[in-house]
Structure 1
Amino acid sequence: MTSRLLRLTAALALSVSLPILAPIAVAREASASIGTVSSADPRAAEAGQEILRKGGSATDAAIAMMIALTVVEPHNSGIGGGGFLIHHGGKTGLLETIDGRETAPAAATPERFLGPDGKPRPFIEVWPGGFSAGVPGNLRLAKLAHDKWGKLPWADLFAPAIRYAEEGFEIRQRLYTALTAVAGIWKDFPELQKLYWKDGAPLPVGTILKNPELAALFRRIAAEGPDAFYTGENARKLSDAVSKAPRNPVPMTLDDIAGYKAKERPAVCGKYRIYTICGMGPPSSGAVTVLQILGMVERFDLKSMGKDDPKAWHVIGEAMQLAYADREKYLGDRDFVDVPLTGMIDPAYIKGRSLLISLTKTLPAYEAGTPPGAPKRTAAISGEVAGTSHFVAIDRDGDIVSMTSTIESFFGSQLITNGYSINNELTDFTFAPEKDGALVANRLQAGKRPLSSMAPTIVYDENGKPIFTIGAAGGKTIIMQVAKALIAHFDWGLSAQESIAMGLLFFNKDGIVLEESTHLEAMKPALERLGHKVSVSRLGLKANAAEKLPDGRWVGAADPRSPGVSLQE
């Protein structure tokens, strides 16, 4: 692409709030002065830092972090799950995204999660075991990304994780908390007990844990590529783990596993004030819902209101609930359902939704709108559990990777093979395939990818230069964590670190939820006077970000709610 065409494409891309239907070209970035990584686990961040110091790209560092998290954060993410990756090329100026979301096996039917009475079964009945397991996507995603943007040999990216698995790593509080949280259901899962329990109880904090089976698998994948995961011995073990699960065994065939493909998807971008916000399109709901929230609050002077004004949070709360209503009704895997993507982030449509918001009172109900091109459909609530992990990497060439990786709930489906946990992502599908006589967009279907809240994001300034990147973990709160941080950074002038550390406002079926032990708690009476039903609760939050400073340096940020860190090259 010529520089003139590059600038023209950038200008067109940045002038509209529409989904971009090809890799978008933005302004080229001068080389970063120093590489930066941020992860929710210090050992994963160290793996990314090690790769950057060897001359690896941001993509190399991100892949190394994802692989390392399989070992040190086995309850939240890893090669047994999937993820979304967005990449900005510092030299090319291209923004591209890869979908590594899990797929439903061929045997999956829309009725899988229904009981004999035709009603959705409780989550606890379908979560542990084979019902919930999807075909993992992370390694196909990693290989596609490495082929496009990697610098170091593929095998080098496994070295830190192999070292952690062979030499051992310390069990810290986060992992121990997860182990104790699922202990009650592990009586049916002896394979997990063998690795993480001793004398009938979870291994305590401070234990050095080795995972030789996982190290051996990593060595095979490092030498042979992802086929060592998707075919051969590992594929047979993965198939057996799901098909012969101690609970809810269902087929996951060798063809299901071998046939998995990561997909390049068009980025979804829109304007917020002078900035352009870009992220993943469906099956991620992240970018669309974040853009709707930001678009609805844009007409309000949040900067003047400030972060301590309850009315600012009232506006954010109203926009949040309207955007999530659209999410539940219209979003799903575009390979299977018609998603009115352009209409959902159309500025005129979002403005109309924003006009529903009053500064003096709450809405009586939060119902989905009718965006241009919307099909007839019924809203239905989908479920996501607060797991997952996000990490970012920026290299000296100005390449940026923002990736979210997940196995869903703590330890996924509670199934394990070759030392890694197998995801339970199929529980992200809406359990009831129909509602009020209409098909649900996010219903389970064979080969389909479940709707996700994961929201890896890159932000560009008015000149098309990247200045901020963020993502989060925590189920459906991910979207609000990202939206809140963007408002805090760009409207209230907070640093990336301060923005992700700020308290969160969320919601449940009863009303608004304020994060406990934050400055938001004091706003409860004022928000109640505006008509909100308000509760205060601890929220499982975990964000990672990086921002570009005025001197051109990138600096990372890690959520203080987690043990995560950011490290320089």
Structure 2
Amino acid sequence: MLSQINAVRLSLSISLTGLLCLIALPAFAQGVVSSADPRASEAGLEMLEAGGSATDAALAMMITLTVVEPQSSGIGGGGFFVHHDARTAKIDTIDGRERAPGSATPERFLDEQGQPIPFNNAFPGGLSVGIPGNIRLMEEAHRRWGTLPWAKLFEPAIKLANEGFEVSPRFSRTVTRWSQGWQDFPDIAALYAPDGKPVSGGDIIRNPKLAALLTRISIEGAPAFYYGENPRVISDVVAEASRNPAQVTPLDFSQYTATPRAAVCSQYRKYRVCGMGPPSSGATTVLGILGLLERFDLKTMGPNSAHSWHLIADAMRLTYADRSIYTGDNDFAPVPVEGLIDPDYLQARSALIDANIALGKVEAGTPPGSSKSGKPAPINEGGTTHFSVVDATGNVVAMTSTIEGVFGSQLLANGMVLNNELTDFSFIAEENGHPVTNRVQAFKRPRSSMSPTIVYNEQGEPILALGSAGGPRIIMHVLKTLVGVIDFDLNAEEAIALPNIFFDDDQIILEDKALSQALKPRLEQLGHSVRLGRQSSKVNAVEKIDGKWVGAADPRSDGVALTAPVTHEGK
């Protein structure tokens, strides 16, 4: 039923656009939204049709996803916001990443013998919960670029939380899988698996506690989240968790700030690619891989060539080796951002790649301004979502939002799922006598792979905005899509549909698709160890084609892109 309703809505939207063109109304521009859930896309579209900016639409989608996609993101987590201002041609970013509480120490995830506890023992419960940043991010973004009243942005989400939203088959499958471990988490079980029965497709979920919290924030602003009753409730939930109880305090909340940061940009062929800097490793890693690939003629090779994927694979392995060592929260340990994307450094690293034979063992390099002191964090992040927006004026937003793992810490407070973001820290504090860059520290933000990205053409005009879910694989979902658009001359929708690629130790993992099955033996002839497997993603993009913005959503998800003509002048 849900898919039928969405199909009708999408059809009506497209039909309306075509009708307006046919009757030759005065010139208008189109607003486009793309997210991983139809209800969120509809909320964003509603803001654009009400005269809102791209920022208004993105923030309304973030709030709506808190209700309808609680397994992936929401106000109990954090995010990164990348914004292109059409009037100033300036790109800005806001860091709303969660922070460790004041009680956090480098030994947080070590056992009595000083050894890292297993990830599956670390993430459930209070120990993994960081101070959420999305509402402070929202406040800062709305102050800068919002045009609609603050309360307006909450209306779709409050309505869905009060009146209920229909469970999709995908959400039902996720609950069925994860509710098997909810014996110690009665609050989340009561909402999504009442009486021990996981919700099924077509069921209606109502979340009055979340509706009440959203209503308070819509009236009182961000202070309703960071002061008073809400921090006290969260502190109690974390302290009284049946697994891994921990301490967060109202003071941790009152001291939280979202931080504007400089975008990280670099040239790839004739395009300028920009993204989020530390504590995200997204931009430096995406741009690093592109820098290693630039000397190769991928366009001539094309997407069906094993050599294209061989080059992508080895560039990926080299750049992720640097990511593991050098990236983290720049406020605590200097990250050599310029060195990681330095053209001379990348040229030297690229020279390690042989076009006809796979690399053997891969180690980190020494980018300018660096000192080796790192240790990889656990690769487990899965609870993430992305949404992209362009408004009629040409303002563009790419925002990625997360609670880290699926259903985060499994804790529920005021109807929202609390993140398990602190498990994105490295569990080991020292390596070879040196402090690990991404070790746990009080008030520190853990390293992230979220990669909201905006691409500019030779004229300095934005032509593509995208991002994805998928933990450390996010970087490769974005990278693959960029290569598909820039090098393979595909549109965003076609590029998103290309096989996903990642790695495990010295093995390349290709998404099990027909193209991958054909590529596997050819890549093995080039010296790669290749495994086919499931690699889901949730890429959402807006793209300018022939002067017109269009949306694209990942076919692996429930995502949808919606377009509506608007005539207002956004902020």
Is the TM value for this pair above 0.5?
A: yes
Tell me the amino acid that sits aligned with residue 356 of structure 1: L
Q: What corresponds to 2:95 in structure 1?
A: 99
Call closer, same or farther: CA 1:303–1:508 in 2, change over 3 Å.
Answer: same
CA distance in 2, matches of 1:173, 1:476: 26
Q: Secondary structure at the match of 2:182?
A: helix
CA contact (8 A) 2:32 2:563 kept: yes
Q: 1:207 aligns with which of 200, 203, 212?
A: 203
Question: Partners in 1 of 2:48 and 2:372 — Cα distance?
Answer: 49
- C-alpha distance in structure 1 between counterparts of 2:545 and 2:199, whole Å: 42
Distance 2:31 2:219 in 1: 27
Q: Does 2:316 correspond to 1:327?
A: no
Structure 1 residue 32: Cα displacement: 7.6
Superposition deviation, residue 410 in structure 1: 1.1
CA distance in 1, matches of 2:161, 2:454: 32
Q: Does 1:156 align with 2:152?
A: yes
For residue 494 of structure 1, what is the aligned residue in structure 2? 490
Which residue does 1:524 correspond to in 2? 520
Query: Is 1:290 aligned to residue 319 of structure 2?
Result: no
CA separation in 2, counterparts of 1:46 and 1:176? 21
Report if aligned partners of 1:380, 1:435 keep a CA contact under 8 Å in 2.
Answer: no
2:526 matched to 1:555?
Answer: no
Match of 1:568 in 2: 563
Alignment partner, residue 295 of structure 2: 299
Asked if 1 retains the 8 angstrom alpha-carbon contact of 2:375 and 2:438, the reply is no
Q: Count how many residue pairs are aligned between Structure 1 and Structure 2.
A: 538
> What corresponds to 1:114 in structure 2?
110
Q: Is the 8 A contact 1:108 1:445 kept in 2?
A: yes
C-alpha contact 1:140 1:226 (8 A) present in aligned 2: yes
Q: C-alpha offsets along residues 345-386 of structure 1, whole Å, 9 cap, x if unaligned?
A: 000000000000001211121110000111242443443422
In structure 1, runs of 5+ residues without a counterpart are 1-30
**Which of residues 242, 245, 252 is equivalent to 2:248?**
252
Answer yes or no: is 1:425 the counterpart of 2:425.
no
Which SS does the other structure have where 2:422 is aligned?
helix
Name the aligned partner's letter for residue 105 of structure 1.
P
- The separation in 2 between residues aligned to 1:479 and 1:348, in whole angstroms, is 22
Displacement of 1:424 after TM fit? Answer: 0.3
CA distance in 1, matches of 2:268, 2:152: 40
2: CA distance, partners of 1:32 / 1:254: 48
| Structure 1 partner of 2:472 | 476
Secondary structure of the 1:397 match is coil
Aligned residue among 183, 192, 213 for 1:196: 192
Cα deviation code 1:5-54 (max 9, x no counterpart): xxxxxxxxxxxxxxxxxxxxxxxxxx981100000000000000001100
Residue 509 of structure 2 is aligned to residue 513 of structure 1 = yes
**What secondary structure is seen at the aligned counterpart in 2 of 1:34?**
strand
8 Å CA contact 1:326–1:368 kept in 2: the answer is yes
User: Alpha-carbon deviations, 1:146-192, whole Å to 9, x = none?
Assistant: 00000000000000001101111011122212212212220000111
> Which residue identity lines up with residue 150 of structure 2 in the other structure?
W
Residue of structure 2 in register with 1:399 after alignment:
395
How does the TM-score come out when normalised to structure 1? 0.93
- 2:567 match: none
- The corresponding residue for 1:366 is 362
Q: What SS does the aligned partner of 2:531 have? A: strand
Name the SS of the counterpart of 1:120 in structure 2: coil
Do the aligned residues in 2 keep the contact of 1:383 with 1:429 (CA within 8 Å)? no
Task: Give, in whole Å, the separation in 1 of the partners of 2:100 and 2:477.
Answer: 28
Distance in 1 separating the partners of 2:108 and 2:160: 38
Counterpart position of 1:231: 227
Counterpart residue identity of residue 164, structure 1: L
CA distance in 1, matches of 2:453, 2:118: 33
Aligned positions of 1:302-321 closer than 5 A: 302-321=298-317
Q: Provide, for residues 397-429 of structure 1, a one-character-per-residue CA deviation record: whole Å limited to 9, x for no partner.
A: 110010000001111101111110000000101
Superposed CA deviations along residues 175-219 of structure 1, whole A, max 9, x for unmatched, are 212212212220000111121122212111111111111111111
**Which one of 344, 347, 372 corresponds to residue 351 of structure 1?**
347
Q: Which residue matches 2:120? A: 124
Q: Hey, what's the Cα distance between the residues in 1 that align with 2:93 and 2:297?
A: 32
Please state how far the C-alpha of 1:259 moved relative to its aligned partner: 1.0
- Which residue identity lines up with residue 225 of structure 2 in the other structure? F
Distance change (3 Å), C-alpha of 1:243 and 1:518: farther
Match for 1:237: what amino acid?
V
Q: Distance in 2 between matches of 1:169 and 1:42?
A: 11
Of residues 518-527 and 426-435 in structure 1, the stretch that sits farther from structure 2 once superposed is: 518-527
In structure 2, C-alpha distance between the alignment counterparts of 1:61 and 1:405, rounded to whole Å: 14
Match of residue 336 from structure 1: 332
Equivalent residue number for residue 533 of structure 1: 529
2:180 maps to a residue whose letter is G
How many angstroms apart in 2 are the aligned matches of 1:518 and 1:143? 45
- Aligned with 1:542: secondary structure? coil
Within the candidate set 450, 456, 460, 2:452 is matched to 456
CA distance in 2, matches of 1:246, 1:48: 38
CA distance in 2, matches of 1:177, 1:111: 36
Q: What code does the residue aligned with 1:37 have?
A: V
Quickly say closer, same or farther: Cα 1:478–1:169, change in 2 above 3 A.
same
Q: Distance in 1 between matches of 2:48 and 2:324?
A: 40
Contact 1:36-1:567 at 8 Å conserved across structures: yes
1:115: Cα distance to partner?
A: 1.4
**What is the TM-score with the length of structure 2 in the denominator?**
0.93
Q: Which residue of 2 aligns with 1:54?
A: 50
Following superposition, the deviation at residue 510 of structure 1 comes to 4.2
- Is the CA contact 1:105–1:447 (under 8 Å) kept in the aligned structure 2? yes
How far the C-alpha of 1:242 sits from its partner, in A, is 1.1
CA separation in 2, counterparts of 1:383 and 1:526?
28
CA RMSD of aligned residues (A): 1.1
Question: 1:7 is matched with which residue?
Answer: none
- Letter aligned with residue 492 of structure 1: F
8 Å Cα contact 1:230/1:257 also seen in 2: yes
Q: Which SS does the other structure have where 1:554 is aligned?
A: strand
Q: Which amino acid aligns with 2:121?
A: E
**2:68 corresponds to which residue?**
72
Give the Cα–Cα distance (whole angstroms) in 1 for the partners of residues 374 and 558 of structure 2. Answer: 41
- Which amino acid in the other structure matches residue 178 of structure 2? V
Letter in 1 for 2:355: L
SS of aligned partner of 1:252:
coil
SS class of match (2:539): strand
Whichever residue aligns with residue 558 of structure 2, its letter is P
8 Å contact 2:377–2:425 — kept in the other structure? no
The answer to whether the 8 Å contact 1:325/1:379 transfers is: no
Q: Which amino acid aligns with 2:410?
A: Q
Contact 2:374 2:438 in 1 (8 A): no
Q: Distance in 1 between matches of 2:557 and 2:103?
A: 38
Please tell me the residue identity of whatever aligns with 2:413: T
Q: What secondary structure is seen at the aligned counterpart in 2 of 1:188?
A: coil
Q: Distance in 2 between matches of 1:108 and 1:383?
A: 21
**How far apart, CA to CA, are the structure 1 residues paired with 2:480 and 2:558?**
21
Structure 2 SS opposite 1:487: helix
1:240 aligns to 2:248 (yes or no): no
Give the secondary structure class of the aligned counterpart of 2:400. strand
Aligned to 1:271: 267
Higher mean C-alpha displacement, 269-278 vs 204-213: 204-213
